[in-house]
Amino acid sequence: MRARNRSRIAGTLGRAYLAMILLFLYAPILVMAAMSFNASEFYQLPFEFSTTWYERMAGNDAILRAAARSIWIAMVVTAIATALGTASAVALWRYDFWGKRVLQVLLFPPIAIPWLITGTAMLIFFFGVGIGRGTPAVIIGHVALALPYVIVVVTARLATFERVLEEAARSLGASPWLATQAVMLPWIAPGVIAGALFAFAVSFDQFVISYFLSEPGDSTLPVLIYTAIRKGFTPEINAISTIIIAFSMVVMLIAARFTSFGGER
Amino acid sequence: MAEAGHLARTDRLRAAGLLAPAYLWLTVAVFLPLSAMAFFSIITDVPFGDTEWRVTAENYAAFLESPTYARLLWKSVLLGVKVTALCVLIGFPCAWVLAKMIRGRSREALFLLVILPFWSNSLVRIFSWAIVLRGNGVLDKAVNAVWPWNVEVNLLFSEWAIVIGLVHSYLPYVILTAYLALQAIDDSLIEAARSLGAKWWTILWRVVLPLSSSGLIAGAVLVFVPVVGSFMEPRILGGRMGTYYGTVIEDQFVAVFNWPLGAALSFILLAVVLAILAVSAPVLRKART
C-alpha cells in the first residue's frame, strides 16, 4: 500500500516536471506570438489587441520577396535531395560492397560539423570556382545538408521492407525495374514523404549556410530576420516569426504522421 | 547481403549509378569546400584576380601570438560545457518520465510535443527569448507581479541569456537520445534491483546510468559541438557581451574580410570538433545501434 502511494506521488511529480519542461519550451514562443498582436511598438504592456503588425508586414515588399524565395528554394531543395537521397538509401540497403561503411560515415560531416565551419568553407570554395554567392549557391548548400536526413529516414523505412516480396515479384517475371517500382517504392513511400518533409524543413529553417551564401538584398527569410533583429526589434519581426514557426511546426507534424521520430510504433 | 565484395558487374554499375549523384553532390558542397578552406588557411591573401599571394603560416601564428583568439576559443568551450551540462541535467529526468512513467497514447503525443520545437526555426526561437528576457519585458513584469519588492529583471545581453537560449535550442536533442536509450532498458531489471532492496540512487547509479550512458553521451556530443561553433545566439542574446570564438570567425567573413585568417580560425575549431567526435566515436557508434 505504501509502495503504491509512493509511486503515485512519483507519477504526479514526474508529470509536473514534464509540464515545467513544456512550459520552458513553449512559453517564449507563445509570448513572441502574443506580442505580434500587441498594438504597442515597444512591446509595452498592458496588452492591447491589434493586427497592425500583420497588415504592415503584408505591405512589406522585402519580407514578401524573401518569403517567396525561401519557399521556392525549399521546394527545389526538397525535390533534389529526396530524389538523390532515396536513390542512395536504396543502393546502400540493397548492395553490399567494399567501402560501404565509409560511405555511411561520410553522411555525418554535414550534420556533425558546425554550420559555421561548413558555411564559411562553402563561401570560400564557391567563390574560388566562380559560383559565387546567391540562390544557386544556397541551393547547393541546402541540398548537401538535407541529403543525410533523407538517406537516414528512408533507410529506416527500408529496414522494414521484406526482401522476399521483391524476389517474389522477380520470380513471377517482373523486371528488376518493375519489381522496384511496383513493390518496393509503394512500401517505402511513407519514408520518402517524411524524408521530403525533413528536407523542406531543413532548407526552410536554415539560417547559417544561407547567411554566408546569400547575396545582400537577395536573402532568404531567416537571413532577412537576422539582419532586421540586429538593427533593433520591431513587432513586425514578431509577426513574420510567428507565421514561420507555425508553418514549420505544421510541416513537422505532417512528417510525424509518416515517421515515428525514433519512438516506438 | 550474402557475398560482400562479390557483386555482379551489372549490380556494381547499378549501385554506382544510384550512389554517385548524392555523393558527388556532397563532395562538391562539403568535402571540396573543407579542403579549399584548408588551403586558404595557409595563404596570405585571397587568390582571386591579380592579388599577390604566397603560402604562409601567419594565420595560424596569429592564433598563437595573440592571446585573444585562444581565450575566446576557451570561452566558447566553457559555454559548450555549461550548456551541455544543463541540457543533460534537465533533459535526463524528463526523458525518464517520458520513457518509464507515462504509458499509452499520451506518451507518443507528449514526446512529439517535446521534440517539435527542435524542428522549428532556431533563429526565431532565439529571437523569442530576446522578447521575453528584455528589461521591462514579460519576465520583468511577471517577476514583479509575484515578488513583493521592486526588482529590475533585465537578463538580455548577459551570458545568462545566451545560456538560456542555447539550452532551449538543444534540450530536445538530449531528451530524444536519452529517451531512446532509456526505452531500451528492460523494466524487469529495475524491478529486480528494487525487489532486492536497492535504493533509488543505487538503481540509478548501478543499473540505469550504465545502461543509458551511450545515449546520454551521444546527446551531449550533439549539443556540445554546435554550441562551441555558435555565433547567432551570442549575437542576438549577448549584445556586446556576446563576443565568442564563433562571432570572431563570422566577422572575418562578413565584416573584416580577412578570409585567410577566418579560414585558419575555422580550421582550428574544426580540429577541436573532430578531436571530440573521434574520442566519442566508439560510444556514438554504439548508441546508433
Does the predicted interface ipTM exceed a cut of 0.90? Answer: no
Alpha helices by DSSP H, chain B: 9-26, 32-40, 58-65, 67-96, 105-115, 122-133, 138-146, 159-183, 187-195, 200-203, 209-228, 232-238, 245-254, 259-288
Q: How far apart are CA A208 and CA B253, in angstroms?
A: 12
**Which 3 state secondary structure label does DSSP give B244?**
coil
Q: How far apart are CA A106 and CA B24, in angstroms?
A: 12
Q: Which amino acid is at B130?
A: A
Mutation site, A21, A70, A150, interface B, largest B CB count within 10 A = A21
Asked if A182 is an interface residue toward chain B (Cβ–Cβ < 8 A), one would say: no
For residues A104 and B162, the model is more confident at B162
Task: Inspect the interface and report whether the beta carbons of A43 and B137 lie closer than 8 Å.
Answer: yes
Count Cα neighbours of B167 within 13 Å in the Cβ-side half-sphere: 22
DSSP state of A184: I
Residue B250 burial (C-beta neighbours within 10 Å; 0-12, 13-18, 19+)? buried
How many A×B Cβ pairs under 8 Å? 267
Going residue by residue through chain B, which has 289 residues, state the pLDDT in tens, using 9 for 90 and above.
Answer: 444 445 677 888 888 899 999 999 999 999 999 998 888 888 877 766 666 777 777 778 888 888 889 999 999 999 999 999 999 999 999 999 998 888 877 888 888 888 888 878 889 999 999 988 887 777 777 777 777 777 777 778 888 999 999 999 999 989 988 998 888 888 888 888 888 888 888 888 888 888 888 888 888 988 998 999 999 999 999 988 889 999 999 999 988 888 889 999 999 999 888 888 888 777 766 655 4
**A261 contact residues in B (CB cutoff 8 A):** 111-112, 115, 176
Q: How far apart are CA A122 and CA A136, in angstroms?
A: 12
- Radius of gyration over every alpha carbon of chain A, rounded to an integer in angstroms: 23
Q: How many Cβ atoms are within 10 Å of B111's Cβ, its own excluded?
A: 24
Nearest to A225 among B28, B119, B123 (CB): B123
pLDDT band at A262 (very low <50, low <70, confident <90, very high): very low
Over 70: is that where the pLDDT of A31 sits?
yes
Task: Inspect the interface and report whether the beta carbons of A22 and B172 lie closer than 8 Å.
Answer: no
pLDDT band at A86 (very low <50, low <70, confident <90, very high): very high
Q: Which CATH architecture has domain A61-258?
A: Orthogonal Bundle (1.10)
Chain centroid offset of residue B279 CA: 16
pLDDT tens-digit series, residues A212-252: 999 887 889 999 999 988 888 888 888 999 999 998 888 88
Task: Inspect the interface and report whether the beta carbons of B120 and A32 lie closer than 8 Å.
Answer: no
**Which 3 state secondary structure label does DSSP give A215?**
strand
Q: For residue A198, give the chain B residue with the closest CA.
A: B119
Grid cell of A219 as nine digits: 536573402
Average of per-residue pLDDT across A33-47: 81
Contact assessment for residue A83 and residue A149, using Cβ atoms and an 8 Å cutoff? no
Domain segments of chain B as ranges: 67-288
Over 60: is that where the pLDDT of A263 sits?
no
Sequence-distant (≥ 6) Cβ neighbours of residue B189 within 8 angstroms? B207, B211
| % of chain A surpassing 90 pLDDT | 38
A70 Cα to chain B: minimum distance (Å): 13
Mean of all residue pLDDT scores within chain A: 87
Asked if A90 is an interface residue toward chain B (Cβ–Cβ < 8 A), one would say: yes
**Which 3 state secondary structure label does DSSP give B54?**
coil
> To which residue does cell 558546425 refer?
A114
Task: Inspect the interface and report whether the beta carbons of A230 and B15 lie closer than 8 Å.
Answer: no
Q: How far apart are CA A165 and CA B288, in angstroms?
A: 27
At residue B3, the pLDDT reads 45
pLDDT band at A76 (very low <50, low <70, confident <90, very high): very high
Question: Can you list the pairs that B275-284 forms with residues at least 24 positions away whose Cβ atoms lie under 8 Å?
Answer: B276/B221, B276/B224, B276/B225, B277/A112, B277/B221, B277/B225, B280/B217, B280/B218, B280/B221, B283/B213, B283/B214, B283/B217, B283/B218, B284/B214, B284/B217, B284/B218, B284/B221
CATH topology of domain B67-288: MetI-like fold (1.10.3720)
A59 Cα to chain B: minimum distance (Å): 21
> To which residue does cell 517505402 refer?
A188
Q: For residue B240, give the chain A residue with the closest CA.
A: A230
Task: Inspect the interface and report whether the beta carbons of A118 and B172 lie closer than 8 Å.
Answer: no
Count Cα neighbours of B158 within 13 Å in the Cβ-side half-sphere: 10
Q: How far apart are CA A215 and CA A76, in angstroms?
A: 18
